[in-house]
């Protein structure tokens, strides 16, 4: 498979270079969406000398097409549910279905928090410049849910940074953020993985290694 980026690490370094070109005042926190966002987030956090944490959000797929998002749930106290009303109506995803799937995805969020963070306290984002990273954006439903949750935590500035996304999705996200950084906006966008030569599935061990590496250089 060919792509604009050799792998997520290369994409993360290129994205970090773009982000580092803009001076940033005050505290900066990098939040990565697991699992694919962690290799990206590690390179961004390293370059900006900022701490790295997870942003746990899970997509709720349509009953007949799990990859088509009808809603998303964001970790928090309380958890936040963002529903795409038009898509949920078109696909027959009623309130009972969404509530059932929400419970299932919250269970997965709790599993990931236990496995990945191992008791670490989530980084505070209030008053900080928060940079949300992922390996790409397709429809934007998951990212919109994540941003909605973060806004309620009162960051000083909210930034989304990704290597690749379609231009129409980015246009829809611009009103949700203070800054939007995207390296590639291909005219023909089919899937995020098409824009990477190596787009292997990131496993739990790779996520944990990235968090450990970030914790080590943040403490030094």
With bands split at pLDDT 50, 70 and 90, how would you rate the model's confidence at 109? confident
3-state secondary structure 161-173: EEEECCHHHHHHH
Lowest-confidence pick of 21-30, 75-84, 162-171: 75-84
With bands split at pLDDT 50, 70 and 90, how would you rate the model's confidence at 77? low
27-67: per-residue pLDDT in tens? 999 999 989 999 999 999 999 999 999 999 988 999 988 88
How far apart are alpha carbons 101 and 109 in whole angstroms? 12
Instruction: Say what percent of the chain tops pLDDT 70.
Output: 97
Q: Which residue has the higher pLDDT, 146 or 137?
A: 137
Average pLDDT over the chain, rounded to whole?
Answer: 91
How far apart are alpha carbons 168 and 81 in whole angstroms? 23
Whether pLDDT at 91 is above 90: yes
With bands split at pLDDT 50, 70 and 90, how would you rate the model's confidence at 1? very low
Buried b (16+ CB within 10 A) or exposed e, 67-89: ebbbbbbbbeeebbbbbbeebbe
Whether pLDDT at 150 is above 70: yes
The predicted pLDDT at position 220 comes to: 61
């Amino acid at each position: 498979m060919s792509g604009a980026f050799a792998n997520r690490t290369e994409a993360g370094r290129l994205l970090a270079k773009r982000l580092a070109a803009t001076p940033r005042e005050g505290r900066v926190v990098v939040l990565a969406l697991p699992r694919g966002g962690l290799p990206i987030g590690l390179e961004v956090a390293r370059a900006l000398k900022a701490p790295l944490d997870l942003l746990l959000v899970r997509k709720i797929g349509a009953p007949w097409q799990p990859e088509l998002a009808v809603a998303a749930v964001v970790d928090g106290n309380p958890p936040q549910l963002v529903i795409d009303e038009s898509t949920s109506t078109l696909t027959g995803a009623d309130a009972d279905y969404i509530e059932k799937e929400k419970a299932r995805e919250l269970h997965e969020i709790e599993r990931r928090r236990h496995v990945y963070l191992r008791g670490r306290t989530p980084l505070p984002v209030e008053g900080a410049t928060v940079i949300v990273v992922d390996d790409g954006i397709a429809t934007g439903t998951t990212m919109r849910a994540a941003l909605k949750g973060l806004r309620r935590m009162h960051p000083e500035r909210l930034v989304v940074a990704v290597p690749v996304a379609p231009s129409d999705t980015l246009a829809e996200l611009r009103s949700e953020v203070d800054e939007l950084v995207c390296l590639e906006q291909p005219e023909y966008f089919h899937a995020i993985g098409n824009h990477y030569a190596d787009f292997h599935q990131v496993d739990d061990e790779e996520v944990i290694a990235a968090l450990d590496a970030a914790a080590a250089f943040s403490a030094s």
